[in-house]
Amino acid sequence: MISAIPPPLIPIALFYFLCAIVSLIGNMIMIICFFRERKFNSPCHYMITLACAADMLHLCGHFVFNFQLFYDGRLKQLWTFFIILRLGPGSQELCFWLLLPSCIGLAISGPLLLSMGIDRFLACQCPMVYRQLCSRPAMYLLLQLFFPIIHTVYLNVSSFVQRDPKTMVICQVPLAMSGDSFEKFNQGGLIINIGVVIVYFVTFLKLRRLAGSATHLKVVFRSILYTVIFVILGWSTVTMMNIASIHLVEDIDTVHILMIYAGIGLNMACASNIFVFYAINSEYRAAIRKLFGKSVPIKIHPSTSMFASTARGNTVTKF
């Protein structure tokens, strides 16, 4: 049990609590817009919605983190189920169960971003093939989600097998992944992040060649650029910092604190989905305004849908 709150954790706990609230509200709005708008029925929209749900699940784990810190680690009070199992408050095993939804969201977010990048690359590089794939959306979506699902199941099963009922931990998402599963997450995440940057950069270059003189595709360039920036500042930062702290820092408490602080950029990215899409995506901006009863300006912008964009130079628009 944590008898005293480590002072370095107080500001980061409050910051993460704020991120969790913003993420919960913002990503729920994105999900509601998906179900309300019939035009959001492409595989890309499904993946965007799943990514928002994953980010929301990931950041909701901060509510457990704050509860443990500021209520003296009495996690047993959360669910009677864990009292029946007689899991000790603050144990790594209890933390694993409480944060399992958050760990699922964390594990699947990176691969989903890669899948969306592949989707945009195919739409840009092979528009005719992409049309054929999207003519069978269920099959195409299952193919795109195959790797994210396998990756997530592997990490969480590995963590489940190695859960520890005796070790007391700070109940934060990184430490809920027991044994070497968190190190596997970091190593795999680094490879996935490199893949994301490469895929989006190649797509960016392709779009630039196709639309050298087309000013209406500047929105496309911005969305690709913002995506890569969030990957670099978010996922890449957290994975590299975690790998460095594990191998270079000897004090285990310091390692845990560094791991928690390493997620600042990633948490900001997860909480900012609604702001980014509202700013750069006219479809989501119109859907959000419509959700809140605001008028939608009649103005043509590039569309997220590949089918709407192939009429203009066989190219794809926003992520």
User: What is the pTM (predicted TM-score) of this model?
Assistant: 0.81
Cα(175)–Cα(182) distance, integer angstroms: 8
Span 160-194, pLDDT tens digits: 999 888 887 778 887 788 778 888 888 888 889 88
Residues in contact with 227: Cβ distance below 8 Å, sequence separation at least 6, in sequence order: 113, 117, 196, 200, 319
Cα(22)–Cα(215) distance, integer angstroms: 33
Determine the residue type at 152: T
The tokens for 87 are 């899991």
Span 227-259, pLDDT tens digits: 667 766 776 677 777 777 767 777 777 777 787
Can you list the residues of the chain whose pLDDT is less than 70? 1-6, 72-90, 210-225, 227-228, 231-232, 235-236, 246, 297-319
pLDDT above 70 covers a percentage of the chain that reads 77
Cβ-contact 102, 177 below 8 angstroms:
no
Q: Report pLDDT for 17.
A: 94
Cα(95)–Cα(266) distance, integer angstroms: 21
DSSP state of 234: I
Cα(220)–Cα(271) distance, integer angstroms: 22
Please return the burial class of 189, using the count of CB atoms within 10 Å of its CB with bins 0-12, 13-18 and 19+: buried
Assigned superfamily of 13-67+86-289: Rhodopsin 7-helix transmembrane proteins (1.20.1070.10)
Q: At 54, phi and psi to the nearest 5?
A: -65, -45
Q: Report pLDDT for 227.
A: 64
